Amino acid sequence: MVKKVMTNPPKSNSASVLTDPALLTNIKAVIAQARSHVKQVVNSTMVHAYWQIGRLIVDDEQQGSTRAEYGKSVLKGLSAQLTADLGKGFDVSNLRNMRRFYLAFEKQETLSLELSWSHYNVLARIENPAARLWYMQEASQQNWSVRALERQIGTLYYERLLSSKNKQPVEQEAQQNDLEQGIINNLQQFLLELGKGFAFVERQKRIRFDDEDFYIDLVFYNFKLKCFLLLDLKIGKLKHQDIGQMDTYIRLYDDLHTSSDDNPTIGLVLCSEKSEAVVKYSVLSDQKQLFAAKYLAHLPSEEELRIELQKERARVQAQLLNQQVKGQDDE
């Protein structure tokens, strides 16, 4: 009797499992959609919760307390109790922001689910109801970041459009936001594809200091360096205060978000003009030796980033031009 010799079945090549690019693309799309949905649900829930808190505060205030007395006593006590019971996020200034939010948007159904609490915190400061509604709709339709919204409000975009006979120059100036957002999108992907330990943390990260909100364009964590990298993009010339602002971000981020085993946070300021780009790493003075000795080996050079920034600006400008031409053709 001849015994059959059992041979081990050929091992499957794990690398060949995902040879179909369509399968990988479809799975990534499902995951991205799910993450986006979760983020939108969380954002919507937070916005509506803060609206409800604002309504409760206003309703209670109208039961007899004067506004001045309410701000000094009741809100202070409410803040202390909520903070003790629920943790951070309920300081007096935040409660005032929720109250102002409700007063600015008393009809809850007018709220756009596309915008975050940070957007509404900015919008609620606009006194003109018509301007406030217009900025809300534009921010939602154009997908403006919080910083882009602040810039448009600061340059009186709505008011200038309303009063200008020739609206094209005003609209072209506003397209700088689209340029900035497009560049940030591509830079985010560029850093993740470097393969040097970068992980994406957050976009438009809000940090608060002395009742003032600051927004960082991109935040990464580098697992090889065990430190955070803050990235800020400017459209225009590099100014001395841009570096100073990044130093402020670094100090605040170290104080608020780093752990004892994290290395010091570093910053990256990128300025893009029509003809040139400037890139500067920013580290606090007492960390320069560590940066030179350890960090630089795992980071793209300023020259590499400068070249990439120029490429991305040209690419995004071409995309925006094509969209503009297409829009004119459709008309």
- CA separation for the pair 169, 270 (Å, rounded): 26
CA atoms of 270 and 217, how far apart (whole Å): 11
Cα dist. 279→190, 222, 231, 269 in Å?
Answer: 15, 19, 10, 6
Q: Once rounded to an integer, what is the mean pLDDT over residues 154-174? A: 69
Q: What is the spatial distance between Cα 157 and Cα 21, in angstroms, rounded to a whole number?
A: 44
Neighbours of 159 (CB within 10 A): 14
For residue 69, pLDDT over 60 is answered with: no
Phi, psi of 243 (to 5 degrees): -70, -40
pTM for the whole thing? 0.57
What is the per-residue DSSP string for 178-210? HHHHHHHHHHHHHHHTT-SSEEEEEEEEEEEET
Residues 6 or more apart whose Cβ sits within 8 Å of residue 247: 267, 282, 284
Q: Is the CB of residue 320 less than 8 Å from the CB of residue 180?
A: no
Q: How far apart are CA 57 and CA 224, in angstroms?
A: 47
Residues 73-124 pLDDT 10s: 788 888 899 989 888 888 888 899 999 999 999 988 888 888 888 899 999 9
Give the whole-angstrom CA distance, residue 155 versus residue 21.
46
Mind listing the pLDDT tens digit for each residue in 140-155? 888 788 888 888 887 7
The full set of domains in the chain, from first to last, is 38-115 (no CATH), 126-167 (no CATH), 179-316 (3.40.1350)
Q: What is the mean pLDDT of residues 193-201?
A: 81
How does DSSP classify residue 223? Answer: T
pLDDT of residue 100: 93
Q: Per-residue pLDDT for 61 more than 90? A: no
Positive or negative, the CA dihedral 138, 142, 146, 150 is negative
Mean pLDDT, rounded, for 13-36 = 65
pLDDT tens digits, residue range 40-49?
788 888 899 9
